[in-house]
A and B are shown apart, each in its own frame.
Chain A
Amino acid sequence: MSNSIQVESPLHHAQLDQLIGQSNSGGIILHEAALLGHLNLRGNSQDAEFLAGVKEALGVALPITPCSSAKSTLAQIMWLAPDEWLIVVASGSEYDVEQKLRSYLKGHFAVSDISGAQTILELSGSNVIELMKKSTGYDLHLDSFPVGKVVGTTFAKTGAHILRVSEDKFQLVVRRSFSDYVWLWIQQGSQEYGLTIV
Chain B
Amino acid sequence: MLLIHCPYCEEMREEEEFSPAGQAHIERPLNPEEISDEQWAHYLFFRKNPRGLHHEMWLHAAGCRKYFNVTRNTVTYEIMETYKMGQEPNVTASKEGQS
A81 at the interface (CB under 8 A from B): yes
Question: Which residues from chain B sit less than 8 Å from chain A, CB to CB?
Answer: 8-11, 13-14, 16-17, 61-66
Which residue of A has the minimal Cβ distance to B12? A139
Which residue of A has the minimal Cβ distance to B14? A137
Q: How many Å lie between the Cα of A154 and that of B11 in the bound state?
A: 15
Interface of B is mostly: loop
Whether the Cβ atoms of A67 and B9 lie closer than 8 Å is: yes
Q: How many residues of A contact B (CB 8 A)?
A: 14
Whether the Cβ atoms of B66 and A81 lie closer than 8 Å is: yes
Whether the Cβ atoms of A153 and B17 lie closer than 8 Å is: yes
Residues in chain A near residue B11, CB distance under 8 A: 66-67, 144
Whether the Cβ atoms of A154 and B14 lie closer than 8 Å is: yes
Question: Which residues from chain A sit less than 8 Å from chain B, CB to CB?
Answer: 66-67, 80-82, 84, 137-138, 144, 151-154, 159
Which residue of A has the minimal Cβ distance to B64? A81
Q: How many Å lie between the Cα of A138 and that of B9 in the bound state?
A: 13
CB proximity of A114 to chain B, nearest CB, Å? 14
Given contacts A80-B64, A152-B63, A153-B62, contact A66 B10 (CB under 8 A): yes
Whether the Cβ atoms of A81 and B10 lie closer than 8 Å is: no
Residues in chain B near residue A152, CB distance under 8 A: 9, 17, 62-64
Residues in chain A near residue B65, CB distance under 8 A: 81, 84
Q: How many Å lie between the Cα of A26 and that of B10 in the bound state?
A: 36
Residues in chain A near residue B9, CB distance under 8 A: 66-67, 152
Q: How many Å lie between the Cα of A138 and that of B17 in the bound state?
A: 10
Contact among A66, A82, A144, A154 with B62 in the assembled complex (CB-CB below 8 Å): A154
CB proximity of B8 to chain A, nearest CB, Å? 5
Whether the Cβ atoms of B14 and A138 lie closer than 8 Å is: yes
Interchain Cβ contacts under 8 Å between A and B, 16 examples: A66-B8, A66-B64, A67-B10, A67-B11, A81-B63, A81-B64, A84-B64, A84-B65, A137-B16, A138-B14, A144-B11, A151-B63, A152-B62, A153-B14, A153-B17, A153-B62
